[in-house]
Chain A
């Protein structure tokens, strides 16, 4: 008998048996009992070889020659089968198994061969033991589906699932001698089923969340298939179409909602599908007086998904705004025309009043006496003031009405213009005016001129009594802006009024003390505001004032 030399993990004692057999083989023909042994385990793979070498006489099974033939048949069937099969024999449930079963033992193989089941299956014995004994006792076959068995393979434990059956093996006398157990590993299926279940649960949860969102939103959502049947709708859509949800599904949109035929809805939906483009349009539904923005998305598998967003509120706001804008525009236009008329006609009349009262005073004043002359003088003063006030108010209003034009302006040139305009007053007051070179700035020429003129005019007016005005003007470049200053050594003002004097109609002195309209600095502030700059005053009462203003180097906006 020739033993194949192989690397085997053999339990202790077997090597002794091998050696004995080796010794025997050289002696000639085998004894008879050995021949049948050989045949039983021959060509049974690794397990067959191991069984061959096993000392069965030392086990409860006894020598192989004494094994019942039904058992031996079972052993042979086991060894010949490709299915994992394990046999249990005797009350001790001694285990024999084939090659296919080996992986199920994992690291326990091959030490489990010929051993009682109870000893090797300690953890699972509480489950498996009663089942095996039941077969032994009653002969009833068991069936276990997807039983979880941990298997330790090369030190690593893993969960495996098996489907198997315990059926009785009867001995030659018909009594139940052992258990026959074919096994199928079902781990792959169990795990993939479980994964699938997880995915399904997740998908359902996802879908529920989605549906919940669609349901809870007030916007209407519909999905059509390629035949324009409604395959999905949310509650809001159903309500809008005055249907119950169940009644909508499966219906053809055009038939259920024929009012949309020939409208932009039909045109755009069909276009979306025909051209496979997303469409977006606004539509008004008269019966509910509601505006909606419809968005339709063609689906790759055919059909269309549609959202109707309710934009009624937005539309109403838009329309109200448009109405207000029109009203505002008309009012503005009327105001513009009004102020133009005011500019012309009012001023004409006021000028006439002023001139004639002056003529009256001039030509007939000397003839008047006492209160008459006084009255005439008062009227002259008042009408002159009225004229000046009207002029200033209209100048202020014109700053809003007319558009300003920001261009590059040479401040030096503007300065010369200002000096020319105020020439009479400068000469009359014997003012001394100095300045440092003034820069190129971004400004509206006429407004900038007006601004500078007003500031210098103020400086000329509010000089110390008895002292000619002394005025100095300079400019310095700060970050992103030019800062101008008009400085005088006049009467100054208390810091308490530093802000309020820029208000419309604000005066610190009565008409009798210093004539003026109270509009000068308000006009300056408006001009500066429109240029995006700042204006302020630094002053000490009795010592003079410096009026500062800034002009941004890059205009913030044009054409105000």
Chain B
């Protein structure tokens, strides 16, 4: 178990309906040696409730980062972010898009909405796992340096 001096894990909200993609993402983060804890939302409606601290999520811990898929059941990724930004409490959370869509319009739209990065899910294992590195780089720059990169990280999900 964690010792008192171990900093808390980085809370990552993964909004993704494909459980296989979630599995690979965990692998990617593990490989990148990120000490993380994932809050998984598998549809847009639940994601909105979570981000706006509604219902069962009223007292949940806020995430440090959002990994967002665009094609979601019920409410899509664009709508989720829009509602998040419109709410004063949700605005500050940075998000990275991880999507199958190559569409230029999607990339532009998400950039306008303030996406930190727009990553495309690759069918090549190496490329997919590299996503972990990208996330690590961002977290380091975002002030989570002390949470990252030690060999005895505990990985909890």
Contacts and interface: CB of A to CB of B under 8 A. Distances in A.
A416 to B, nearest CB: 16
Interface in B133-151: none
B124 interface: yes
A355 B100 contact: no
Contacts of A350: 123
Nearest to B24: A355
A354 B20 contact: no
B18 interface: yes
B125 interface: yes
Contact of A384 (B20, B121, B123, B128): B123
B71 interface: yes
B125 A359 contact: yes
Interface residues of B, number: 13
Contacts of B125: 354-355, 358-359, 362
A344 B101 CA distance: 9
A328 B147 CA distance: 59
A351 B71 contact: no
B104 interface: yes
A387 B18 CA distance: 17
A192 interface: no
A interface bracket (residues with beta carbon within 8 Å of B) = 10 to 19
Given A354-B123, A354-B124, A358-B124, A348 B104 contact: no
B20 A344 contact: no
B104 A355 contact: no
A236 B107 CA distance: 69
A355 B125 CA distance: 5
Among A355, A362, A446, the one with the most B-chain Cβ atoms within 10 Å of its Cβ is A355
A351 B104 contact: no
Interface in A507-540: none
Interface in A291-344: 344
A356 B138 CA distance: 27
B131 to A, nearest CB: 12
Interface in B84-127: 100, 104, 121-125
B123 A355 contact: yes
B104 A446 contact: yes
Contact of A348 (B18, B24, B124, B128): B18
8 contacts: A350-B123, A351-B100, A351-B121, A351-B122, A354-B124, A354-B125, A355-B125, A384-B124
Q: Which 3 A-B pairs have the closest CB atoms?
A: A358-B125, A387-B123, A354-B123
Interface of B: 18, 20, 24, 27, 71, 100, 104, 121-125, 128
Given A348-B100, A355-B24, 5 more contacts: A350-B123, A351-B122, A352-B20, A355-B20, A384-B123
